[in-house]
């Protein structure tokens, strides 16, 4: 694992490295990379890893970007998406790492918007945005709404697992955080050939990331019937195996962070980091608090503080 770069000093725009993994998407990958290079604020580097494609992916990539200094083209035997990300991350030098699936597209303002957040909010470690589906569907991936500071979610990630992210192409992390997320044992990492954005989302929360959500759909998610989520919807067996490897992944990050159920005593403190908590979050943190080892008197006192913060957020 490469050493982390120094933190961005005050006044500097954070640099961005883009990681693109691709497998047999020759018809899409060039457009995806071009959408990264066409940003209003272009990235420092785009690192493309071809994960053992059997189509003409590498040929079209070399033809399109072989002389492009900003683009690094790598290839490896087919090992899965997480492995491809880890391979690309060894070359990443940016303060922020943004992910882009090889069948998706970025709107031109995407990187400038996430840079604005990372620049203004030194305490934010993970930024994601809404997405618009295109192709076989044409709709928003997440409900329309304003930008939102999600605060910290260590307890949520460890014990509730509410999804607080978009799909891969709308996710970005500070480089130092991503280095910790990628501290997965080889045998565990090899299980995440698809849907490794679960590791990014839940792992970052358990490791203490502060998340920020941009409500504007700045990323286009291509729907073509071969998306990873389609497989799990069709096959109960595939879904079961996905849930088993998810539990192993969560156990790993809980051990890495040293988090156990005794930490539920922090429910009030974590809830109060959320500026506009939802009803789901109010109920989840109430549940976490009542499972905590705090004395009954303290649990009651903390719960009233949770209620007060929730009601105050409507002002």
The DSSP code for 7 is P
pLDDT classification of 223: cutoffs 50, 70, 90: confident
Per-residue model confidence (pLDDT) at position 197:
95
Give 43's strand partners.
Answer: none
Residue of higher predicted confidence among 220 and 230: 220
What is the SS3 assignment for 15? Answer: coil
Average pLDDT, the chain: 92
d(CA 282, CA 36): 38
Does 245 score more than 80 pLDDT?
A: yes
Rounded mean pLDDT of 218-231?
Answer: 76
Report the 10 Å Cβ neighbour count for 89: 20
Q: Where are the beta strands (DSSP E) in 122-262?
A: 126-135, 148-152, 171-174, 210-223
Model pLDDT for residues 43-76, shown as the tens digit of each residue = 999 999 999 999 999 999 999 999 999 999 999 9
Model pLDDT for residues 294-311, shown as the tens digit of each residue = 999 999 999 999 999 999
Contact 181, 200 (CB under 8 A): yes
Per-residue buried b or exposed e for 156-190, using 16+ beta carbons within 10 Å of the residue's own CB: bbbbbbeebbbbbbbbbbbbebbbbbbebeeeebe
Model pLDDT for residues 173-197, shown as the tens digit of each residue = 999 999 999 999 989 998 999 899 9
Rounded mean pLDDT of 117-139?
Answer: 93
């Amino acid at each position: 694992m490469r050493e982390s770069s120094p933190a961005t000093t005050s006044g500097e725009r954070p640099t961005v490295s883009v990681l693109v993994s691709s497998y047999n998407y020759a018809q899409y990958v060039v457009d995806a990379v071009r959408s990264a290079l066409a940003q209003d604020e272009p990235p420092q580097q785009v690192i493309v890893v071809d994960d053992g494609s059997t189509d003409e992916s590498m040929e079209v990539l070399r033809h399109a970007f072989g002389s492009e200094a900003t683009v690094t083209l790598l290839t490896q035997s087919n090992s899965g998406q997480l492995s491809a990300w880890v391979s690309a991350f060894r070359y990443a030098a940016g303060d922020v790492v943004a992910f882009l699936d090889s069948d998706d597209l970025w709107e031109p303002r995407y990187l400038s918007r996430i840079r604005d957040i990372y620049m203004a909010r030194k305490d934010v470690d993970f930024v994601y945005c809404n997405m618009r589906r295109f192709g076989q569907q044409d709709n928003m991936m997440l409900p329309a709404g304003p930008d939102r500071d999600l605060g910290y979610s260590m307890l949520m990630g460890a014990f509730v697992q509410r999804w607080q992210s978009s799909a891969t192409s709308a996710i970005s992390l500070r480089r130092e955080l991503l280095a910790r997320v990628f501290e997965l044992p080889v045998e565990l990492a090899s299980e995440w050939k698809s849907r490794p954005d679960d590791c990014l989302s839940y792992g970052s929360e358990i490791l203490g990331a502060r998340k920020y959500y941009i409500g504007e759909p700045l990323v286009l998610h291509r729907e073509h019937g071969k998306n990873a989520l389609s497989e799990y919807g069709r096959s109960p067996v595939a879904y079961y195996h996905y849930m088993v490897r998810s539990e192993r992944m969560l156990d790993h990050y809980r051990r890495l962070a040293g988090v156990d159920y005794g930490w539920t005593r922090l429910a009030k403190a974590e809830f109060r980091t959320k500026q506009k908590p939802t009803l789901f979050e109010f109920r989840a943190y109430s549940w976490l608090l009542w499972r905590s080892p705090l004395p009954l008197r303290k649990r009651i006192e903390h719960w009233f503080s949770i209620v007060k913060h929730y009601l105050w957020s409507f002002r």
